[in-house]
């Protein structure tokens, strides 16, 4: 993505979100439908997705970046099919996994971020600048030369997020981002999410976090059971979970 004038690589700046469209989407796994007839268009800055375990939340999130392929129907991200051109979609859309160990490869923090940038065609100097800027943006610059195994769970999550931010995506996808955090780091993440200029789609059981989203989908048995404002969606989900 080209740099706006006067904008340092990786620095926080307003970023235009994307249009993510699901059209009669279905995903079958082991003879059962993980997703069934999902149709929705997401354009809002903050979208929450909530539901009981096995309702299809994480599967839906993964279809956006092509990690799960539709059985029928389609997904597009700004008009691009992630199963046809996953590289283009992932250049503008970053997915933070529930367990950051699943996306951290190298033993040293800065080296891991640099590895994630190697296929983008940036030179050594720009890559280093993006790494430093992404770490500084999250307030973890001092971790650059630390070993991954020495970090806490919260620090690992921030490192994984920094790796996504270094690419300057338009949209960030979060899969249960607070499930492994203590209360202090959970609150820190909530503050961070509130300040991110990027579009964010958040799958979570953390209903206080979900309540900060402008639009919330409630998933049930692979379908969208409710789609609306956060307060109404959370109330609907609580009632169904009784």
- Phi (first) and psi of residue 158, to 5 degrees: -65, -35
CA–CA dist 17, 44 (Å, integer): 8
**Considering the domain 20-189+196-227 in this protein, what is its CATH number?**
3.40.50.300
Question: What's the per-residue H, E or C state across 173-236?
Answer: EEECCCCCCCHHHHHHHHHHHHHCCCEEEEECCCHHHHCCCCEEEEEECCEEEEEECHHHHHHH
- The confidence band for 16, taking pLDDT boundaries of 50, 70 and 90, is low
Residues 63-110: tens digit of each pLDDT:
999 999 999 999 999 999 999 999 999 999 999 998 888 889 999 999
| CA 44 to each of CA 61, 158, 194: distance values in angstroms, whole numbers, following the listed order | 15, 24, 14
pTM: 0.89
Would you kindly state where each structural domain of the chain is located, as residue ranges?
20-189+196-227
Strand ranges inside 78-157, DSSP E: 93-96
């Amino acid at each position: 993505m080209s740099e706006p004038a006067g904008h340092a690589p990786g620095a926080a700046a307003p970023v235009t979100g994307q249009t993510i469209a699901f059209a009669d989407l279905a995903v079958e796994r082991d003879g059962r439908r993980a997703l069934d007839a999902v149709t929705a268009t997401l354009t809002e800055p903050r979208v929450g997705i909530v539901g009981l375990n096995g309702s299809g939340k994480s599967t839906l999130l993964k279809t956006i970046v092509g990690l799960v392929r539709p059985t029928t129907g389609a997904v597009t991200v700004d008009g691009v099919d992630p199963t046809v051109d996953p590289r283009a979609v992932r250049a503008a859309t970053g997915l933070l996994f529930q367990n950051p160990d699943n996306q951290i490869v190298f033993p040293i923090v800065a080296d891991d971020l640099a590895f994630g940038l190697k296929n983008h065609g940036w030179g050594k100097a720009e890559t280093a600048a993006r790494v430093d800027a992404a770490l500084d943006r999250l307030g973890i610059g001092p971790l650059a030369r630390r070993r991954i195994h020495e970090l806490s769970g919260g620090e690992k999550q921030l490192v994984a997020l920094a790796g996504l931010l270094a690419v300057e995506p338009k949209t960030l996808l979060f899969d249960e981002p607070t499930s492994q955090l203590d209360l202090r780091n959970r609150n820190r993440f909530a503050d961070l999410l509130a300040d991110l200029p990027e579009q964010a789609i958040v799958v979570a059981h953390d209903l206080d976090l979900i309540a900060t989203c402008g639009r919330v989908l409630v998933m049930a048995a692979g379908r969208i059971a409710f789609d609306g404002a956060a307060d109404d969606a959370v109330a609907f989900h609580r009632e169904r979970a009784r």
